[in-house]
Chain A
Amino acid sequence: MMKENDASNPAGPSENVGIELDRRNFLAGMGAAGLALAAGIKPALAQDMSLLKGSGDVVVCTWGGASTDAMKEVWFRPFAEVSGVNVSTASVPDIAKLEVMENVGNVEWDLMDAEGTQMELAMKKGLLQKIDYDLIFKIVPKDQIDPKVIKEYGVGSVGFSTVIAWNTTLFGKNGPKDWKEWADTTRFKGRRALYAQPRPSFEIALMAAGVPPEKIYPINIDDAFKALDELRPKINLWVEKTSQWGVLMQNGEVDLMGSSLSRTLDEKKRTGKVDFTFNQSIVEQDYWVIPKSAPGSANAQKLIAYALMAKGSLGFATKMPFSLANTSIYGDIPENMKQQLPGYPENSARNVQIDQAWWVANADQVRLRWLDWMSRG
């Protein structure tokens, strides 16, 4: 799956305008709620915050773009104030690069926002250190964190969604309700686009072939390619970069998409020509991971703990349509934002979570066959 924010995204300036406006309206009303929230957990908070005190630096490797800007605002700058640690950012997470850094003994990153598959790959190569949950749970109550994203070598940061989206001028409110309908060319006549990547095209092709979400994993690779063969004639173009969705949607180049939630939401707010559903939306979870030889690992552990707190998570959720590890925040989400947050219980119940362990275990085989399959098209 491609990242939401390619650092080199040319659609930069116009991006997220809709969300920004919404956020401003929303923040005005949120002040009171935020205060109430802070007041409720204040005793524990005041006591524990001293654990976050530190000195020196922490370098966070992120994906750049709008999501990094949001992270800086809600997590990195406030953390620097609370802890006294200098936070700087670098881009972009790359396990091959991390391995080289580790081998030459000069690791430049202290904390990474790694894709789930990147975490698995780094674990396989022994490049990570364990997450200090003793510290985290002194700062954040354990029951606030989604147990699914608590892993030995990483803890959930944000989750990206790929959703079923459609052109409203053709289909109005009544777009496809699942991938099977999405692939139905008699009911939905239009041009289709998917990511030019096996992940999540495998999942999509299988669901389009009628495989129920809970039966996708472990994927039978032959079945997946059979399903893809069925799907191929219906796909008009394969999308290389997330930044392409904007230009594709704006000009009606395609009518049925498996697109990034944040880009789809941007277009929906900006033009209203696109709508989407959370049904069978595919979520790829990112994790905070700490390189084994990170010089600032102690600070990184503190920053993770800080970022998992409800307050910052709520702040992030109001800026970017990503799911968050702290699931306690959704009670405080205003009504109009519930429709756009993949982590909101009603939406997340309809998600399909990418099985990153399966993908890493089968990467060699799948990647080769995928390239072979693509080059036949």
Chain B
Amino acid sequence: MTPIDASEPAEKANRLLPDAPTVTLTAWQRQQRGLTVSLMALPTVAMIGVFVMPLLVLLWMSFGGGTKTGFSVQGYIDLMQPVYLKLLMFTLQLAFFTTLLCALFAYPLAYLMVNVSSRFAAWMGVVLFITLWLSFLARTFAWIIILQRRGIINNLLVGIGVIDSPLELVYNKLGAYIGMVHILLPFMVLTLIPAMKAIDPAYVRAGLSLGASPARVFRDIYMPLSLPGLVAGSMLVFTLAFGFFITPAILGGGRAPTIVMAIRDQIQQLGNLQLAAATSMVLLVFCLGLLFLYDRIAGIDRIYDKGGK
């Protein structure tokens, strides 16, 4: 760094800050700026080290970096098999409906937690958090105990005579959805809560006092104001669901093969890291494309809005 007592570089730096006055910085301002830079240093390094670097390494590997064969686009060429598209489409479908179902269940749940007595809300929060602490695999096996042919639900239904033979609740796509929605629901609820908390109740009261029906108040006031949470939550859940592997693999009973299974085979069975990296890059670009589309529709910048304030 050049010393900052020379006015020229200071002025140059000032041009980067849109609202800053173009006068020479005072000692106080210089110190402030130094503080900002030093405070930003650690997060910047962390961002680069933790997020940017691995991505660059993955990109490098997908073009054959680190292999004996040298650089090539072979990984991407190998990907042009119809089966990959098929797996991708199924994974997309799985992630989409999981997100939709999570939103449907999480919205009333979050609304309840924000609007009922704080003690009850705290209990609900505890229950929700506890499920987050348990391992994926343990919860997956718990669902088997509940859903299987001689599981809790089927035994109950057969026992009270509602059905004659057990329902096929697991080892199919239904089982995969149940497990995934259960595991991802807390993420949706937890992103919805702050958004709903930030909604000023005065808006709702104003709407009601001006004669709007409760349904109209919800549709025109509450719902749009809670949208940032829904947008953030659905992005989070969709992205997580897209990369899900073990839960659909076990609860799907072999009937819900995802693209992640192909990546696993590429690594474990074929030892082809270039192909696995290329597949991951395509997935990443695909996901970014979807987010871009989502941004155009829903507006991702809403996440930073604070419920109408």
Kindly identify, within residues 139 to 176 of chain B, every residue whose CB is under 8 Å from any CB belonging to chain A.
141, 144-145, 148-151, 171
**Residue B225 is within 8 A (CB to CB) of chain A in the complex:** no
**Residue A372 is within 8 A (CB to CB) of chain B in the complex:** yes
Binary B-proximity of A232-252 (CB < 8 A = 1, otherwise 0):
000111111100100100011
**Residue B205 is within 8 A (CB to CB) of chain A in the complex:** no
Kindly identify, within residues 52 to 87 of chain B, every residue whose CB is under 8 Å from any CB belonging to chain A.
66-67, 81-83, 86-87
Partner of B269, one of A117, A235, A251, A372: A117
Cβ of B271 and Cβ of A371 under 8 Å apart? no
**Residue B253 is within 8 A (CB to CB) of chain A in the complex:** yes
Q: Which residue of A lies closest to B245 (CB)?
A: A240
Cβ of B171 and Cβ of A237 under 8 Å apart? yes
Binary B-proximity of A353-377 (CB < 8 A = 1, otherwise 0):
0000000000110011101101101
Chain A residues contacting B249 (CB-CB under 8 Å) are 196, 240-241
Partner of A371, one of B145, B148, B262: B262
Chain B residues contacting A218 (CB-CB under 8 Å) are none
**Residue B111 is within 8 A (CB to CB) of chain A in the complex:** no
**Residue B47 is within 8 A (CB to CB) of chain A in the complex:** no
Cβ of A251 and Cβ of B151 under 8 Å apart? yes
Chain B residues contacting A253 (CB-CB under 8 Å) are 148-150
Interface of B is mostly: helix
Cβ of B66 and Cβ of A103 under 8 Å apart? yes
Enumerate 27 A-B pairs (CB-CB under 8 Å) in ascending A order.
Answer: A8-B135, A10-B141, A11-B141, A96-B268, A96-B273, A100-B273, A103-B66, A121-B270, A237-B171, A238-B253, A238-B254, A241-B246, A244-B144, A247-B145, A251-B148, A251-B151, A363-B270, A367-B266, A367-B269, A367-B270, A371-B87, A371-B257, A372-B86, A374-B255, A374-B257, A375-B87, A377-B255
**Residue B90 is within 8 A (CB to CB) of chain A in the complex:** yes
Cβ of B271 and Cβ of A99 under 8 Å apart? yes
Cβ of B250 and Cβ of A251 under 8 Å apart? no
Chain A residues contacting B35 (CB-CB under 8 Å) are none
Give the complex CA separation of A251 and B268 in angstroms: 32
Binary B-proximity of A334-368 (CB < 8 A = 1, otherwise 0):
00000000000000000000000000000110011
Binary B-proximity of A250-283 (CB < 8 A = 1, otherwise 0):
0111000000000000000000000000000000
Give the complex CA separation of A240 and B248 in angstroms: 10
Give the complex CA separation of A251 and B154 in angstroms: 12
For the complex formed, measure the closest distance between the CB of B57 and the CB atoms of chain A, giving whole angstroms.
10
Cβ of A375 and Cβ of B90 under 8 Å apart? yes
For the complex formed, measure the closest distance between the CB of B268 and the CB atoms of chain A, giving whole angstroms.
7
Cβ of A252 and Cβ of B271 under 8 Å apart? no
15 new A-B contacts, CB < 8 A, other than A121-B270, A244-B144, A372-B86, are A96-B268, A96-B272, A103-B66, A121-B271, A196-B249, A196-B254, A238-B255, A240-B246, A241-B246, A241-B249, A251-B150, A252-B149, A371-B257, A371-B262, A375-B83
**Residue A125 is within 8 A (CB to CB) of chain B in the complex:** yes
**Residue B265 is within 8 A (CB to CB) of chain A in the complex:** yes
Q: Lowest 7 CB-CB distances: which A-B pairs, in order?
A: A238-B254, A237-B253, A237-B171, A196-B254, A372-B83, A240-B249, A95-B271
Cβ of B253 and Cβ of A371 under 8 Å apart? no
For the complex formed, measure the closest distance between the CB of A157 and the CB atoms of chain B, giving whole angstroms.
19
Partner of A8, one of B137, B261, B272: B137
**How many interface residues does B have (CB within 8 Å)?**
38
Kindly identify, within residues 236 to 261 of chain B, every residue whose CB is under 8 Å from any CB belonging to chain A.
246, 249-250, 253-255, 257, 261
Count A-B contacts at CB 8 Å.
92
**How many interface residues does A have (CB within 8 Å)?**
36
**Residue A229 is within 8 A (CB to CB) of chain B in the complex:** no
Chain A residues contacting B137 (CB-CB under 8 Å) are 8, 10
**CB contact under 8 A between A236 and B90, given known A10-B138, A196-B254, A241-B250:** no
Chain A residues contacting B273 (CB-CB under 8 Å) are 96, 99-100
**Residue A184 is within 8 A (CB to CB) of chain B in the complex:** no
**Residue A81 is within 8 A (CB to CB) of chain B in the complex:** no
Chain B residues contacting A196 (CB-CB under 8 Å) are 249, 254
**Residue B235 is within 8 A (CB to CB) of chain A in the complex:** no
Cβ of B271 and Cβ of A125 under 8 Å apart? yes
Chain B residues contacting A146 (CB-CB under 8 Å) are none
Kindly identify, within residues 81 to 127 of chain A, every residue whose CB is under 8 Å from any CB belonging to chain B.
94-96, 99-100, 103, 117, 121-122, 125
Chain B residues contacting A371 (CB-CB under 8 Å) are 83, 87, 257, 261-262, 265
**Residue B267 is within 8 A (CB to CB) of chain A in the complex:** yes
For the complex formed, measure the closest distance between the CB of B305 and the CB atoms of chain A, giving whole angstroms.
40
Q: Which residue of B lies closest to A121 (CB)?
A: B271
Chain A residues contacting B141 (CB-CB under 8 Å) are 10-11, 247
Give the complex CA separation of A122 and B161 in angstroms: 57
Chain A residues contacting B144 (CB-CB under 8 Å) are 244, 247
Partner of A367, one of B86, B149, B265: B265
Chain A residues contacting B135 (CB-CB under 8 Å) are 8, 10
Chain B residues contacting A241 (CB-CB under 8 Å) are 246, 249-250
Chain B residues contacting A367 (CB-CB under 8 Å) are 265-266, 269-270
Give the complex CA separation of A244 and B66 in angstroms: 37
For the complex formed, measure the closest distance between the CB of B82 and the CB atoms of chain A, giving whole angstroms.
8
Kindly identify, within residues 180 to 239 of chain A, every residue whose CB is under 8 Å from any CB belonging to chain B.
196, 235-239
Kindly identify, within residues 1 to 54 of chain A, every residue whose CB is under 8 Å from any CB belonging to chain B.
8, 10-11
For the complex formed, measure the closest distance between the CB of A251 and the CB atoms of chain B, giving whole angstroms.
5
Give the complex CA separation of A94 and B271 in angstroms: 8
Partner of B267, one of A96, A117, A251, A372: A96
For the complex formed, measure the closest distance between the CB of B277 and the CB atoms of chain A, giving whole angstroms.
11
Q: Which residue of B lies closest to A376 (CB)?
A: B86
Cβ of B86 and Cβ of A375 under 8 Å apart? yes
Q: Which residue of A lies closest to B144 (CB)?
A: A247
Q: Which residue of A lies closest to B253 (CB)?
A: A237
Cβ of B269 and Cβ of A363 under 8 Å apart? yes
Binary A-proximity of B3-42 (CB < 8 A = 1, otherwise 0):
0000000000000000000000000000000000000000
